[in-house]
A and B are shown apart, each in its own frame.
Chain A
Amino acid sequence: MKKIHIVILVGIAACIMILLSFMGDLSTYETLASARQKEGKTVTVIAKLDKSAATPIEYDPAKNPNLTQFYVIDSLGNKAQVKYYFEKPFDMEKSDRIVLKGKMKGDVFEITRKDGILIKCPSKYKDDPKAAQNNLSQN
C-alpha cells in the first residue's frame, strides 16, 4: 500500500468522525406542534411574534435584565411562549421572522444560549426596497 493511500484512508476516517460528531448535535427545523412532541430535545423553529397576545414581548430590565419573554406563532398558527435568558434583542418588535433554537419545556419554549435567537428584520444590515418605499411614503 502506498503512503498516499494510508493518508487518504486516515482522511476518510477523520471525515467520517467529523460527520458523526456533527450528526450528534444536529437539530432539525420543526413547527411548534412537532417541537412540543419532542419535548426536551433541541429544535429549530421559525416563527414570528404573536401580535395578538396582550403583551407580545415582556422585558423589564429594571427587575431582571436577563429574561425576555415573548409569544410566537408559527406558520401553522400554533402559539407558544418563549423564555430567552438574555437581553431583548434590538429591533425585536419590528421583526417579521424569528429563528428560535431551544427546547420545549412544558408549554414554554426555552432558549438558554445567547445565539439561540435570530431576528429577521425587513431591513437591518440589508436593503429592502419595501422598507425604503415605506420610508418614502410616510409623512
Chain B
Amino acid sequence: MKYIGEHLLPGQLGHLLVVLSLVASLVATIAYFKASNATSPADHDSWKKLARIAFYIDAFSVLSVFSILFLIIAQHYHEYFYAWNHSDRSLAPKYLLSSIWEGQEGAFLLWTLWHALLGLILMRTAKKWEAPVMTVISFAQVCLATMVLGVYFFNIKVGSSPFLLTRYQFQDAPIFSGPNYLALDKINNGNGLNQLLQNYWMVIHPPVLFMGYASTIVPFAFSIAGLWKKDFGWTKAALPWSLFSGGIFGLGIMMGAAWAYESLSFGGYWAWDPVENASLVPWLVMIAAIHTQVIYNSTGHSLRATHTLFILSFLLVMYSTYLTRSGDLQDTSVHAFVDSGMNWQLRLWLFILAIPSLALLVARYKKIPHIAKEEEFNSREFWMFIGSLVLFLSAMAIIVPTSFPIFNKLFGTNLAIGEDKEFPYNRIQIFVAMVIGILTAIGQYLKYKNTSKAYFNKKILWATVIALLVSVSISYFGHINYNKYGIGFLSAIHLALFAGVFAVIANAGYIYTGLGGKLKAAGASVAHTGFGLLLVGILISSSKKEILSVNTFNPLNFGPEKPKEGFENLTLFRDIRTDMGKYWATYEKDSVNATRRITYFKVNMERKDGKEKFDLYPDLIKNTKGQEGMSNNPDSRHYWNRDIFVYVNHASSVMEDKDTVQFKNHLVQAGDTIFYSEGFMIFDSVTVNPNNSKYKFTSNDTAIMANLTVFTKENQKLTARPVLYVQNNEAKLILDTLYSQGLAISLARVAEDKHLEIGVKESSRLTPFLALKVLQFPFINLVWLGTIVMIIGFVMSMVRRIKLL
C-alpha cells in the first residue's frame, strides 16, 4: 500500500548514518589500536591519519543522526514511532529536546554525541596519548552505536532504532489499514511527552548529566592507555579531564536534585532512590580518584589507587546504566526504566568493558610504580589518601544496598531495604560527612611530604576557633533538634555540622592565609568551600524539614511510639479559612490553562500574626500518553532562608464526578432519632425566631430553627441548626452543613401534629475541597549555593591545570 504524506527519507538517511557511525568507529578503533602498537613513526602516523578520518566520520554521523532525530520531532513527523511516542503538537518548542531524551534511544544518542565531542577535543590535545586513549573511546563508540542500530541478526534484535516507523511498531493495528493514517487524530497529534518531563530542568539536566557520564571515559581511557603502554606519565595530561568530569558530573547530579526538588516527585531533592544512587556512586569514586591523582602528581604515591579508582568510576557508570535501564530495579525505584528487551546487550556491554580493563589492571598492577617508603602521618598525601578511601567506602556503602535486586537475582536471596528507606543510608553517610568535612578542612593546611607542627597549629588555629563558634551558634540558636532517631543521631548531626562549617571556614581562610589571596591557584579551596557549604545545607535543610499542613482534625492513635502518623495532609474546603499551624489557609478558586490540561488551585496563606499574606497556585496536570488520571505539581514561595512548598493530593472539583445525591426526608418530632450512614442525630427542640451568633431574626419574622445533635462514628458530638423562614410569602431554607461528616441538613417543612420534616443529604462533595500538603525546607539555598561554588572551584582548577600542562 502506498501511504499518504510519509517522509521516509530522513529515517532512511538516519539509519544509514547510524550504520556509518558503527563502521567508522570500528575502523577508528582498529586504526588507533594499530597506531598505538606501531613500531615505526611512519607506521604510527599513517594509521593515525586513517583513524582520525574514521573518527571524524563517526562524529559527523552521530551529530547528523541527532539532528535528523530532532528534525523529525520538531516537524512532527509522526510516521516515526519515536516522534509520535515522545511528543505531540501542543508541546512547547523548548520541550522538543526533552522528547529526544525521554526515550532510551535518544539518551544513548546523546551519550555518543558527547563522546564524539570529547574525542574531537582529545585528538587536538592529547598528543602522544591520542592513539591509545582514542582506541578506548572509539571502542566505546562502537558499543554505543550498536545500542541504536535496530537491526536483526539471526532473529536477535541488536539495539533499538529511533527511526522505526510507527506502522512497523504496531504492525497489526487496524489504524494503518488505510493509506491516509497520518491524517488521523491519534497519529497526527502524537502520544505526547510525559508531563513530569515538561519542566525546564528536564531540558538542561539530562544533557549535563550525560556529559558527566560521558566524561568519565576520558580518565578511564588515559588510565587504560597508561597500563597498556606501561607509561605512567599520563596523570598530568589527564588531570584537567578528571577535574572536568568531577565538575560536570556533580553539576548534572545536582540539577537532577533541583528537578526532583521542584517537581517533588521524590519528596525532596534527595531520596536515596536507586536512580539517584546510581549516579552518585561513580561521582564519589571519581572524586576519590582525582585526589589520589593529585597525590601522585605531587609525591609519586598512590598511582595504583589512581588507576583502580578511575577504572572503577567508569565501570560504575556502565553498571549504573545497566541498573537503571534494565528494569531490574523496578521494585525498588520510583523512576527506573522498564525492561526494553536490550538487557542482554547492556550486560554484554558491561562485561566487554569490565573484563578486559580489570584484567589489564590486575596483570599490570605489580608494574605500576610505587614508592616503598610510607607516607608520613603529618603529610598531606597521607590524609588525602585516607579521604579518598573514605569516599570510596562511602560509595560502596551506597551501591551495595542499591544492588540488592541484582544480588537477589544472582543468588536467589530475597533481601530488601527495610521500611525506612533513607535512614540506613543517612546514618552511615553522616559519619562520612564528619570525616570528609574535617579532612577537607585540614587537608590544605598540611604540606606534602612533611608538615611542621608549629606551622600547622598556627595556621589552623583561627579557622578552628571560628568554625567552633559558628557551628555551636548554629546548633544552639538554629534549634536543630531532629530527634526522630534518638540522641545518638542528633549528636552526629551536630558533629557533622561542625565538620561542614569547619570545611567552609578553613578553606575560605586558606585562600588568604595559605595562598596569600592568589585566586588563580585557589580552585581547590573554592571547590572545598562549596563542598562544605553543600554539607551544611544538606544537614540543616534535612534535619529541619517541616510539615506545615499538620492535620489536627484526624489524630489517629498509633500507640505511644507513633503518635504522629497520618497527619501530613490537610483538607481545605472552599472559602473556609482553616487553621494550619502558623498560618490560616483558604482555598479560594480553580482556574485552568489554555490547553485545559492544567488546573491551578488558588490557596491563600495568611500568617496568624498578620505579618504576611500570599497566594500559592499548586496545580494538577492531566496525564499525557493516553493515560487517565492526574499528576500533581507543587507551587512554592521562596525566601532567602527557606522555601514553602504546597502541593495538592486531591481536588474534588477535578477528580470527582458531579454531586447527584438527593436529600432524604425524615418526619420527626422532638426526641426522635435519625440515622445516617456514619452515625445518627437526635432532634432535640425547636427555636422560634432564633437570635444567636449565626442567625439574627426578630419577633417580626417568621422563622423556626431545628436543634439537632449529631453523634458521629468517631464519637464526636456536633450540633446542626437548619432554619425555615418565610419572606415575602415564600418559604426559604437555610441548610446547615457539617463538612467533616459530608452532611447537609435542612428543615424542609412543618408537618402536622408537631412533626417536622428534616432533610438529610450525605455527600462528600457538598463543597469543593482540596487535600493538600505544605512543606517547609529551611536553608535549601545553601545546598544550591554550595553546589555552584563547588563547580566554580572545579572550573578554576581545570583552567589552571590546562595552563600548567
Contacts and interface: CB of A to CB of B under 8 A. Distances in A.
Interface of A: 2-4, 7, 11, 14-15, 18, 21-22, 25-30, 42, 44, 46, 59-67, 85-88, 90-91, 93-94, 99, 101-103, 112-116, 118, 120-121, 123-129, 131-138
Nearest to A29: B414
A63 B421 CA distance: 29
B427 interface: yes
B742 A62 contact: yes
30 contacts: A2-B374, A3-B374, A3-B377, A4-B374, A15-B393, A22-B400, A26-B415, A27-B417, A28-B415, A29-B416, A42-B418, A59-B650, A61-B649, A61-B652, A61-B769, A62-B571, A62-B652, A62-B769, A63-B554, A86-B568, A87-B773, A88-B649, A112-B562, A112-B565, A118-B331, A120-B330, A129-B169, A131-B627, A132-B169, A136-B187
A62 B330 CA distance: 33
A46 B420 CA distance: 17
A68 B423 CA distance: 24
A67 B374 contact: no
Contact of B428 (A21, A27, A61, A131): A21
Nearest to B419: A42
Interface string B626-653: 1111111000000000000000011010
B389 A7 contact: yes
Contact of A25 (B85, B420, B630): B420
B232 interface: no
Question: Which of B419, B629, B630 counts the most chain A CB atoms within 10 A?
Answer: B419
A99 B329 CA distance: 12
A62 B374 contact: no
Interface of B: 85-86, 102-104, 169-170, 173-175, 186-187, 191, 194, 196, 267, 271, 330-332, 334-338, 374-375, 377, 382, 385-386, 389, 393, 396-397, 400-401, 408, 414-424, 427-428, 551, 554, 556, 558, 562, 565-571, 573, 623, 625-632, 649-650, 652, 739-742, 764-765, 769, 771, 773
Given A18-B428, A25-B424, 12 more contacts: A3-B374, A22-B424, A29-B414, A42-B418, A61-B650, A62-B652, A62-B742, A66-B551, A86-B566, A86-B568, A114-B267, A127-B104
A115 to B, nearest CB: 5
A27 B418 contact: yes
Contacts of A14: 393
Contact of A62 (B187, B338, B566, B739): B739
B764 A60 contact: yes
B683 to A, nearest CB: 24
Given A18-B428, A21-B428, A42-B418, A136 B565 contact: no
Contact of B389 (A11, A18, A61, A126): A11
Contact of A66 (B393, B418, B423, B567): B567
- 8 closest A-B pairs (Cβ-Cβ)? A135-B626, A85-B566, A65-B771, A25-B418, A65-B569, A87-B649, A61-B771, A66-B566
A63 B52 CA distance: 70
A29 B404 CA distance: 11
Contacts of A113: 419-421
Contacts of B650: 59, 61, 65, 87-88
A125 B417 CA distance: 23
A89 to B, nearest CB: 9
Contact of A63 (B334, B377, B414, B742): B742
Contact of A115 (B175, B271, B401, B551): B271
A137 B554 contact: no
B566 A67 contact: yes
A interface SS class: mixed
Contacts of B630: 90
Contacts of A86: 566, 568-569
Contacts of B570: 65
Contact of A132 (B389, B551, B626): B626
A30 B331 CA distance: 13
A91 B652 contact: no
A94 B629 contact: yes
A136 B421 contact: no
Contacts of A135: 186, 191, 625-626
A63 to B, nearest CB: 7
Contacts of B86: 127
Contacts of B186: 135-136
Contacts of A29: 408, 414, 416
Contacts of A85: 556, 565-566
Contacts of A134: 626
Contacts of B773: 87
B625 A123 contact: yes
A9 to B, nearest CB: 12
A132 B427 contact: no
Contacts of B627: 91, 94, 121, 123-124, 131
Contacts of A3: 374-375, 377, 382
Nearest to A123: B625
A17 B428 CA distance: 10
B299 to A, nearest CB: 14
B551 A21 contact: no
A56 B627 CA distance: 20
A121 B330 CA distance: 11
B764 to A, nearest CB: 4
Contacts of B568: 66, 86-87, 114
A118 B334 contact: yes
A48 to B, nearest CB: 13
Given A63-B764, A115-B271, A18 B397 contact: yes
Contacts of A25: 417-420, 423-424
A131 B625 CA distance: 8
Given A11-B389, A61-B571, A65-B649, A102 B419 contact: yes
A2 B650 CA distance: 63
B331 A46 contact: yes
A46 B385 CA distance: 44
Contacts of A123: 338, 625, 627
B689 to A, nearest CB: 33
Nearest to A99: B331
A135 B187 CA distance: 10
A26 B417 contact: yes
Question: Which of B385, B628, B771 counts the most chain A CB atoms within 10 A?
Answer: B771
Contacts of A94: 627-629
Contacts of A28: 414-416
B626 A128 contact: no
